[in-house]
Structure 1
C-alpha cells in the first residue's frame, strides 16, 4: 500500500550554526526566484544564488523530450538527477516556476519505463537515479497535473511507476549472485557504484511507503559490508583492499548503512572514520564524490558536515560558470545536478535528506 506524503512538510535536521530554523515558503504562480530563495533566510545568500543560477541552466537546457543532453552519460538517470535538483530546494512542483520542467521530466521517466519489466534504462545506474527521483516526487507532485487530459502517453501514476521500478530492481537483484547490481539488469557480477544508486532508490521507495522486503535490503547491505576493508575503504568490483582513495565509495557505503539504520555493523563506523580522516582530501570524480560525501556526513557527523559544507560552498562559488553550470567528468548536466544536490543539504527539502 502506498502512503501519500507531503514532501514540502517534511523538513528535518538541525539548522546551520547561528542561523534560524528553516521555514517552508514555496512561491506561488510564476514568481521568479528571489534573493531570499524559496525557504526563508536560513540558507546563505551564496547557496541561494548558486542554486538560482544552476536551476536556470537546467530549465534552459531541458529538451523537448523532457530530458537533458548530458553527453555520453545521458539517459533516465540524467533526467532523475536534474529533477532531484529542482525538487531539492523546495520549489513548488505543481504551480511554481519550474513546474513544467518537473512535469516534462516525470513524463519522460514514465514514458521510457518498460511496462513489462518496469526497467528504466539504459542501465541499472540510470534506473536507480530515476527511481530515487520518482520516489522523492511522490506525495509532492499532483499526478493529475503530470499529463494533459488528451495526452496519448500511458497515464500511469507516480505510485504505479515506482512499484514497477521497484519490481525491476528486485528481479535484477534475485538474478545476481552477489544479490547486488551491475549495469545490465541481467548481470551476474556487481559493483558498489551501480549498487549504491539502486539501493538509494529502494530506500527512498521504502521511505515513501512502497513495500521493499527486509531480506532484499539485508542482502544488498551484506554486499556492501563484504566490499569494505577494515580501514573503511571500499572496493569497486572486488572486495576492499586497505589503502587508496575511496571517498565516493566509502561515502556511498556509509550512506546506505546510515539510511538503513545499521550503525551496528562494523562497516558503518569504519567508513565514517575513513571519511572524517579524509575531509580535506580531494576526491577523484569530485562532483560524484561530493554528492554522496555531503549526504553521508550530514547523516552521521553533522558538526563536521557543517564545517565541510562551508568549504564546499567556497569551492562551488569558484567552480560555477556564468551560465549556472558546473564543469565535470560526468557531463555538464550530471555535473551541475550533482553539484547542486551536494549543496541542497542546506535546504533539506528532499525526504531522503532527512535524518
Structure 2
C-alpha cells in the first residue's frame, strides 16, 4: 500500500523543521482565540459544496473531509437544528443520507470515488463519528430514525471490517486482537494499521455516547490490538507484525492511542502510562518549539490527549515527577495556541499547511482551538 496515501502518510510523519516563534503571537487574549475560530469556521462555511460536502485539494476524500469539517462546526455549539452553522451541518447530514450514498451493508465511505477506493475506511470512521454526534441532537422524529438506522449499520460494518488475529503476550497467554486497514478485512484479508484503527475506535465511542449499541468485543479486541502494537519504548508501531515490541514506534499513532485508551477507561494502567511517557520524549520537545511541518495528524490527537489529561492527571499518574517536567493542558495550550493563531491565513481564515489540503488543516486546527468548549461528549474529559 502506497504510504503517501491520505492520512497514512501523515501518521508516519512526526518529523520536520520546527517553525520559528512568531513575536506577534505573544500576549494573545481569549477573544483572539474566538476570533480565530470564527474566521476558520466562516471559511469552511464559504467553501462547502452546494450538495453539502467538503473535499480535499483536487476533489479528494470527500467523505473524510465532510466528517471532519462537520465536527468542527458541531464543536462551536451549532447543531442540526439551531446555531450559527446549523444550515451547514444539516446540509452535510443530508449529503451523507442521500439515497445514492446510503448502502444496505452500512458502508459510509465511498469505494466508487477514485480517491477513496483503496482507503474507504477513513471515511467510514470520520463519517460515522460526525453522524453519531449529530444523532444525539436531532429532534425531528423521521430524521432521527434515519440517522439511527444509518449509524447502526455503519457500526455493524465497522465491526465486520475488523481483522481477527491471535497475539501471544509476553507471559505466554494468547489473546484475540483486531485492528482495521484501509479497506474492510473482508476485502484485504488481514492487513491492519494504527491510524485507521484509531479512526474506527473514535467512531465507535461516539456511537456509544449517543446511545447506539456497540459490540463490546469489537472494542476489546481493538484495545488489545493497540497493546499488541506497543513497543518496549511505549510507542505504537505502524501495523501489527507479531513482534511489535521490537518495532519502531510512530509518535502520532502513540498520541492517538492515548485518546482511545482514555475513552476505553484506561486512565491509570501501565499501558497509557507507557504511551504518555513515549509522547513526553518524542512529541513534547517539538510542541515546546511550536508547530512542526506537516504535523496535523499528530496535533489532532496529541491535543485531545493533553486536554483529557487536564492539569492534574499527569501528577496523579506520575506522582514522583517534578512539577516542571509534568505535561499539562495549560502548558500545551500556552505552547501551541499562539502558533496556531499566527499560522492562520488572515485573508480567508484557512490554514494552508499539510499534505491533504486546507479543509483538513483548518478542521484539525479548529478542533484543537475548541476543545475547551467541552460541547461534544467525544472530546470531554
TM-score, structure 1 normalization: 0.79
When structure 1 is superposed on structure 2, of 308-317 and 88-97 the one drifting more is 88-97
State the alpha-carbon separation in 1 of the partners of residues 257 and 101 from structure 2. 27
Uncovered stretches (5+) of structure 1, i.e. residues with no partner:
1-42, 147-154
TM-superposed deviation, 1:141: 3.0
State the alpha-carbon separation in 2 of the partners of residues 145 and 210 from structure 1. 17
Uncovered stretches (5+) of structure 2, i.e. residues with no partner:
1-28, 111-119, 167-176, 313-327
Cα contact 1:120–1:130 (8 A) shared by 2: yes
What is the number of residues matched between the two proteins?
A: 305
SS of equivalent to 2:81: coil
SS of equivalent to 2:45: helix
State the alpha-carbon separation in 1 of the partners of residues 164 and 249 from structure 2. 31
Alignment of 1:68-79 (within 5 A): 68-71=54-57, 73-79=60-66
Does 2:295 align with 1:286? yes
Does 2:150 align with 1:161? yes
TM-superposed deviation, 1:301: 4.5
When structure 1 is superposed on structure 2, of 70-79 and 247-256 the one drifting more is 70-79
Does 2:289 align with 1:262? no
1:184-226 deviations in Å (ceiling 9; x for gaps): 1233210000110011000111111111122111101111111
Does 2:322 align with 1:325? no
State the alpha-carbon separation in 2 of the partners of residues 252 and 218 from structure 1. 17
When structure 1 is superposed on structure 2, of 88-97 and 326-335 the one drifting more is 88-97
CA distance 1:243–1:49, shift in 2 (3 Å): farther
Does 2:377 align with 1:351? yes
State the alpha-carbon separation in 2 of the partners of residues 217 and 145 from structure 1. 30
Which of 114, 132, 137 is the matching residue for 2:134? 137
State the alpha-carbon separation in 2 of the partners of residues 267 and 215 from structure 1. 19
Which of 119, 123, 130 is the matching residue for 2:107? 119
Alignment of 1:91-110 (within 5 A): 91-110=78-97
State the alpha-carbon separation in 1 of the partners of residues 247 and 293 from structure 2. 15
CA-atom RMSD, angstroms?
2.4
Structure-1 residue corresponding to 2:253: 249
Which of 320, 335, 339 is the matching residue for 1:311? 335
CA distance 1:233–1:284, shift in 2 (3 Å): farther
Cα contact 2:238–2:250 (8 A) shared by 1: no
TM-superposed deviation, 1:176: 7.4
SS of equivalent to 1:157: helix
State the alpha-carbon separation in 2 of the partners of residues 344 and 243 from structure 1. 35
TM-superposed deviation, 1:169: 0.4
CA distance 1:103–1:275, shift in 2 (3 Å): same
CA distance 1:53–1:169, shift in 2 (3 Å): same
Does 2:277 align with 1:273? yes
CA distance 1:166–1:113, shift in 2 (3 Å): farther
Cα contact 1:176–1:190 (8 A) shared by 2: no
TM-superposed deviation, 1:272: 1.1
Structure-2 residue corresponding to 1:11: none
Structure-1 residue corresponding to 2:203: 201
CA distance 1:320–1:242, shift in 2 (3 Å): farther
1:283-313 deviations in Å (ceiling 9; x for gaps): 5641111110111111134351121112221
